[in-house]
Structure 1
Amino acid sequence: MTAPLDPRTGHTRQGLPVSRNRQPGADLREHVARLFVTIIDQPEGHTTSDFVLNDTPFIRVLPRGSWEAEVSPGEWRRFAGAVLFGAQARPQRVRCTGPMAVAGFAIRPGGWFGLFDEVAEVFADRLVPLAEVAPRFAADMVAACAEVDSIDATFAALEAGVRAHLRERSARLANAAMAAFELIARNDPVRRVADIADALDMDVTYFARQVRRHFGHAPKTVLRRARFLDIAAVMRGLAVPSADELAALRFYDQSHLTREFRLFTGMTPARFERSATPLLTPGLESRQQRKLDDLATLRPGERAPWLA
């Protein structure tokens, strides 16, 4: 981080930037996990570098800032407009120059095929311009974020664009088994793959194939990443009361923890704890908000305990 940042969409009690995010309308919840708008001001000409790690596919619209991503070691590519991020098993390095804004939504793996035809595995650990996949949908998403500072209007426009896309495709219903696995992975990622497949009344090989189609990665990867994201959130002060109290105990010892952090962040736990992650943290926080939704622990209008 090269300059002071002004997180206009909010920050945690520790001063870390977060997005404004919320659930979609009830009619979209099989396909859309959570809508978000993140606005962070920094001086013109200054660049913020970080990484992101998605546990679901995302559509992100980039209405403000000069955004780049490292598409191969040492090779950076400029992105603008609407971008489709696949789910990730390794960190994606990104950077933005100048005041930044990004808006969009996380895609529920069980509802993936309502939005796209190709299997999610095609986009795993990749980001591509959405216009290359669904040109009309991309144009609608960009138009929805044209007035990104009007956050509630942006949410409404994003929802309208998704509804139009689903109608145009005569979208199929979500896959109930994959929706169930998504909930398990987020809230109980220590379960064995064979036990989960059995609970879902699926042959383990068929279950693994379906997870790759919808999530983009193998079931073990999905669960392993979930355990890492839990401990990363705890280290950022984003623990969900009771649900994340035992996150650290999911790792056998310090070497196991270090190995997971090197895999998913490229750094040690100690270095991660010292590092500013202004572009990763909003995604972690939004995921933690989904846990609160799962547990239904917040009363209407109540804020998450980590928010300033």
Structure 2
Amino acid sequence: MTELQKLRGSEPASVGLALPTTPRMRYWKPAPALRGLVSGYHLYAVTTPPGRPHRDVFQPAWANIRVLLTAATDWRVRVGEGAWKPVGECALFGPSSQVTWSESGSGIVVGAGLTPLGWARLSKFPAASWANRVEDCDAAFGDVIAALRPLLRGAADDDALPVLFDAFLIGAMARATRLDSAIARLDSALLDPANTTVGALAKRIGITPRSLERIAARAFGFPPKLLLRRARFLRSLHAIRRAEPSERAAAIDPGYTDYPHFIRDAQDFLGMPPRAFLKLDMPLFAQSAKLRDQVLGAPAQALGSG
């Protein structure tokens, strides 16, 4: 019996479940043809006693498509201080500048992280219209994802999932857009701590500040100034996560004028001080952060790649 079949049980997912007693996850890199379009694929599997939901959190991230392999899973999320809302069988987690709190029953979810360029290839809508939102994926992509869902649910084992994602997304993202080059340059520039102002960012990319605003809204979901703050904060958050406690203050990005400046950003992006956030009991967040480092690489954390 395959690993995924063990997770589901011998019966179809809609009939019965056999899930691990501790949270389990996998990460995979996409095919080379999807480099720059898809940040990675992930699988989360959790089980909970009746009446005791699993609680976790997603860091600010680019857009993610997430498909429940166990369609009956009771799952709800809240972005920042927003209202709780149920998550459907196929959900789009839009680009976010705040944490997304999660409560769920037993279940398995598989997902694909879209880069800003991947969003521009796959969706006709500006990313800004989906920022800090979780909605049904068909609302953003029409019926494009509909054909993929039954294939994922019928996968023989874990390692069939990235193969299915690759085959589907290579075709769905094949058509280039006229903004591809500028989006890719902006994506790369946000990784560079030397870019600290909107003017410097526009100059680095070789476009006007007005064009930069349009591209940021279309593919990234936020104004350039917020994108710079977000990238700086995520670089710092994951630097202190990796650092020894005594070295954390020195690990933050040099773009911060002082540690209180970093704390103020933490309140905006996390809703709490960073040390309080990192002390929370968040099993999937802790495991996924380590796995993303190993599989996708540490730079992925700086922009919130899922």
TM-score (norm 2): 0.77
**Structure 1 residues 268, 81: CA separation in 2 closer, same or farther (over 3 Å shift)?**
same
Whole-Å separation in 2 of the counterparts to 1:179 and 1:135: 25
> Which of the residues 29, 50, 55 maps onto 1:23?
29
Task: Give me the whole-angstrom Cα distance separating, in 1, the residues matched to 2:234 and 2:146.
Answer: 32
Which of 110, 122, 129 pairs up with 1:122? 129
Task: Give the aligned partner of residue 9 of structure 2.
Answer: none
Amino acid at match of 2:68: L
How far apart, in 2, do the equivalents of 1:291 and 1:258 lie?
Answer: 26
Q: CA deviation at 1:127?
A: 1.3
Superposed counterparts of 1:48-63, under 5 Å? 48-63=54-69
1:86 to 76, 90, 94: 94
The code of the aligned residue for 1:87 comes to: P
Partner of 1:183: 188
Q: Report how far residue 156 of structure 1 moved.
A: 0.9
Aligned residue pairs: how many? 273
Structure 2 residue identity aligned to 1:146: R
Q: CA deviation at 1:118?
A: 0.9
| 1: CA distance, partners of 2:232 / 2:288 | 15
Q: Which residue of 1 aligns with 2:16?
A: none
Once structures 1 and 2 are overlaid, which stretch shifts more, 148-157 or 68-77? 68-77
1:140 equivalenced with 2:110 (yes/no) = no
- Structure 2 distance, partners of 1:44, 1:249, is 47
Q: Gaps (5+ residues) in structure 1? A: 10-19, 240-244, 295-308
Task: Give the match's secondary structure for 1:37.
Answer: strand
Per-residue deviation at 1:145?
2.7
Superposition pairs for residues 194-273 of structure 1, below 5 Å? 194-237=199-242, 246-273=251-278
Residue 198 of structure 1 deviates from its aligned partner by: 0.9
- One-letter identity of the residue aligned with 1:234: A
Structure 2 distance, partners of 1:199, 1:248, is 20
* Code of the aligned partner of 2:139: E
Cα 1:249–1:287, aligned 2, differ >3 Å: closer, same or farther? farther
Contact 1:119–1:214 under 8 Å retained in 2: yes
In structure 2, what is the Cα distance between the partners aligned to 1:270 and 1:23? 30
Partners of 1:247 and 1:71 in 2: CA distance: 25
Structure 1 residue matching 2:102: 3-state secondary structure: strand
Quote the offset at 1:282 in angstroms. Answer: 5.4
SS at match of 1:51: strand
% identity of equivalent residues: 24
Answering whether residue 159 of structure 2 is matched by residue 152 of structure 1, we say yes
* Letter aligned with residue 86 of structure 1: G
Offset from partner CA, 1:190-223 (integer Å, 9 cap, x none): 5332122112211122112211211010112112
Match of 1:107 in 2: 114
Q: Once the 2 structures are TM-superposed, how far is the Cα of residue 28 of structure 1 from its aligned partner? A: 1.9
Is the 2:128–2:222 Cα contact (8 Å) retained in structure 1?
yes
Secondary structure class of the residue paired with 2:145: helix
User: In structure 1, the residue corresponding to 2:86 is in which secondary structure?
Assistant: strand
